[in-house]
Amino acid sequence: MKKYIIFLFIFLISCGGDSENSNVILEIEPDTNEGETSESQKSTDDNVLEYPADFDIEILFECLSDNGINPIPSPEFTDNNILIKFDDGYSQDFIDNFKSTSRECEEKMKSMSTDNDSNEYSEEDNYEVFETNTALECKKGFYSDLPIPKNQDSAFNYYEYYWQGNEKICYNFYQDELIDDEWEKTVINLFDFFIDELGIYVPINLTLVDQNKASDETLKQINLDDCSIYDFLKESQIEDCANNRDPWGNRFAAAGVDWRGQSNGGNVALFVDNWENSGRDAAIKIFAHEFFHVHQNGLIYLFEDENLFGIPKTWLDNPEETIYNDEPNQVYLMPTWLEEGGAEFAGPILATQFDNNIDAKKFFEESLDEARNVISVAASNNDKVSLKDYEYQTELYESYDNPNNGIPREFAFQYTGGQWAHLYLLSLDKDNYEKLMFGYYRNWSENESKNPGNGWETTFQQLFGMDVDKFYKDFDAFMLKDREEQLLILPTNEELQNLTLSK
Summarize pLDDT for 321-334 with one digit per residue, the tens.
Answer: 999 888 889 999 99
Beta strand residue intervals within 204-315, DSSP E: 204-209, 254-256, 266-271, 302-303, 308-312
Q: For all residues of the chain together, what is the average pLDDT?
A: 85
Q: What is the largest CA-CA distance in the chain?
A: 75
Contact of 340 with 256, CB cutoff 8 Å: no
Report helix, strand or coil for 162. coil
Q: Which of 14-23, 95-104, 240-249 holds the top average pLDDT?
A: 240-249
Q: What is the mean pLDDT of residues 346-373?
A: 98
Closest-CA residue to 160 (of 152, 170, 168, 150): 150
Q: Do you find a cis peptide bond into 71, omega within 30 degrees of 0?
A: yes
Residue range 164-193, pLDDT digits in tens: 999 999 999 999 999 999 999 999 999 999
The answer to whether residues 268 and 205 touch, using CB atoms and an 8 Å cutoff, is yes
Q: What pLDDT was estimated at residue 51?
A: 54
pLDDT at 201 over 90: yes
- pLDDT tens for each residue of 121-167: 444 444 467 899 999 999 999 999 999 999 999 999 999 999 999 99
Q: Cα 178 to chain center, whole Å?
A: 30
pLDDT above 60: residue 112: no
Q: What distances in angstroms separate CA 214 from CA 25, 211, 217, one per listed residue?
A: 31, 6, 8
**How many whole angstroms from its chain centre is CA 43?**
34
For residue 42, what pLDDT is reported?
52
Confidence at residue 64, expressed as pLDDT on a 0 to 100 scale: 57
- pLDDT for the residue 236: 87
d(CA 125, CA 392): 32
**Class of residue 77 by CB neighbours under 10 A (exposed 0-12, middle 13-18, buried 19+):** middle
Distance, in Å, from the CA atom of 71 to the CA atom of 90, rounded to the nearest integer, reads 9
Residue 196: which H helix or E strand, with range?
A: helix 181-198
pTM of the model: 0.76
Q: Are strands 4-11 and 21-28 parallel, antiparallel or unpaired?
A: antiparallel
The stretch 334-357 carries a mean pLDDT of 98
Query: For residue 63, is pLDDT > 70?
Result: no
- Mean pLDDT score, 10-31: 38
32 pLDDT exceeds 50?
no
pLDDT at 231: 85
- pLDDT of 17: 42
pLDDT band at 261 (very low <50, low <70, confident <90, very high): very high
Q: pLDDT at position 235, please? A: 84
What's the whole-number mean pLDDT along residues 35-43?
A: 47
Cα torsion angle, 116, 120, 123, 128, sign: positive
Sorting pLDDT into bands at 50, 70 and 90, what band is 107?
low
Burial environment of residue 299 by CB neighbours within 10 A (0 to 12, 13 to 18, 19 or more)? buried
Q: What is the 3-state secondary structure (H, E, C) of 111-153?
A: HCCCCCCCCCCCHHHHCCCCECCCCCCCCCCCECCCCCCCEEC
- Among the listed ranges 31-35, 206-210, 495-499, which one has the minimum average pLDDT value? 31-35
- Interatomic CA distance for residues 291 and 279, integer angstroms: 18
Q: Please report, as a single letter, which amino acid is at residue 152.
A: Q
Least confident of 24-33, 231-240, 475-484: 24-33
In terms of Cβ atoms closer than 10 Å to its own Cβ (0-12, 13-18, 19+), residue 368 is: buried
5 Cβ partners below 8 Å, 6+ apart?
Answer: 25, 26, 27, 28, 51, 55, 57, 60, 75, 82, 84, 320
Q: What is the pLDDT of residue 304?
A: 96
